[in-house]
Structure formats: structure tokens, C-alpha cells
Structure 1
Amino acid sequence: MSTTSETPVLDTLAAMTVDSLERCGLAPDMLILTRIAALAVSDAPPISYLAHIDPGLRAGLTADQLQDVLVAIAPIVGTARVMTAAGNIAAALGVAIAVAVADAEIEAEAQG
């Protein structure tokens, strides 16, 4: 395999995401909600949800909207998948908060 990058997998995923966004006509909030539903259906790990936290915040999504998506898909995908998704979303949020706190502490130390 020939590559000029040290992160070919991440680069490929980023390129796929950009291509998807360019070809999709959904509003940003609907796009993220659709992806959250797809992640729940595919039993995705927390890291997959983590990748959607910042775009979700920028799209103005709320916790209520995320819960509504899980409620909407529960009859189709089942309680086990929905409960796993809820736990994975919570884990992803925990990681995002920890990273934000660490970044704030580093910035505070650098300023004074």
C-alpha cells in the first residue's frame, strides 16, 4: 500500500465525510440526527458518536432532539440497541468534556 500520509484511514474517512456532505441536501441538524440514528442501528462505539458532537453542537442540536431520535427508532431497532447507543453517546460526551477541560487548563497555564 502506497500512501503519503501517516493517517491513511482517518484521511479516507474524512474524505468520505466531505464527499457525503457535498452531495447531501439535508439541513445540518437533520444530517447529524440521521447519522446518529445510523450509528445506533450499526451498534457504533463511542468514538463514532464523538466525531458527531462538535458538528451537532454547531448545528444547534439539543439533548432532547437526540433523545427523540432514539425514541423514534426504538420500535424498529429494539431496546438493546437504543440502550447501547444511549450509553455510547454518554461515554462520547464524557470524553468530549474531559478534552475540553484539559484544553482549557492548558490554555489557562499558557496565559498566566
Structure 2
Amino acid sequence: MTTSSETPVLDTLAAMTLDSVERCGLPPDMLILTRIAALAAMDAPAVSYLAHIDPAIQTYLTPAQMQDVLVAIAPIVGTARVMSAATHITEALGYVIAVAEGEAGLEA
């Protein structure tokens, strides 16, 4: 099967994510917190957290809840992975803020 899309990898990842969300019975906030825990456990890069920032905002997750997830998994995944996750989450938020500021500047 071939695709005519110019972004087949991105399209595949989006389809996989949508399928996972549709099949998961967790409430949206728990789904995002679970995914953040999984990303931390895998030592995922900042870009991997980007896809979860908007859904986290939409489900009204707080920074304290995200911290709680990192605290909860720290004994399992270790200090280095938790600190790495905190750094990557901060970097991802920085990207989102920079884009929002750029868009706001274009609108002004």
C-alpha cells in the first residue's frame, strides 16, 4: 500500500494515536498522565511531549498533577529519567510558548 501524502510517517503516527485514544477506556486526563509516565520511562525527547501538551490543556491537567506523576514513577524509573522528563517537558512547553508568541506577533 502506498500513500500520496507528503508526510507518511507523521500521518501514521497520528493515525496510531487516534486509534489508541478511540480504543482506550481511560478518562482523557488519565490517558494523558499515563502517556507522560510512559514517555518519562522511555526517556523520550522533548518533541515526543509536544503531542501531549494541547490534550493536557484541554483536560485541565495542572503542572502539579504532572509533577505528581513524575514523583509516583521516580522509584521505578529512577532519578535520571525523571529529571530528564522534567527537562524535556519544560523544553516542549517552551516550544509551545514560542510558537504562540510568534503567532500572536503575526496577528498584531
Q: Is 1:46 matched with 2:46? A: yes
Match of 2:71 in 1: 71
Deviation at 1:20, TM superposition (A): 0.3
TM-score (norm 1): 0.94
The unaligned stretches of length 5 or more in structure 1 are: none
The unaligned stretches of length 5 or more in structure 2 are: none
TM-score (norm 2): 0.97
Deviation at 1:50, TM superposition (A): 1.1
Q: Percent identity of the aligned residues?
A: 73
**Regions of 4+ moved over 4 Å:** none
Deviation at 1:3, TM superposition (A): 2.0
Which structure: larger Rg?
A: 1
Q: What RMSD, in angstroms, separates the aligned Cα atoms of the two structures?
A: 0.9
Alignment coverage as a number of residue pairs: 108
Deviation at 1:63, TM superposition (A): 0.2
Match of 2:84 in 1: 84
Match of 1:96 in 2: 96
State the alpha-carbon separation in 1 of the partners of residues 54 and 104 from structure 2: 16
Any residues of structure 2 matched to 1:21-40 within 5 Å, and which? 21-40=21-40
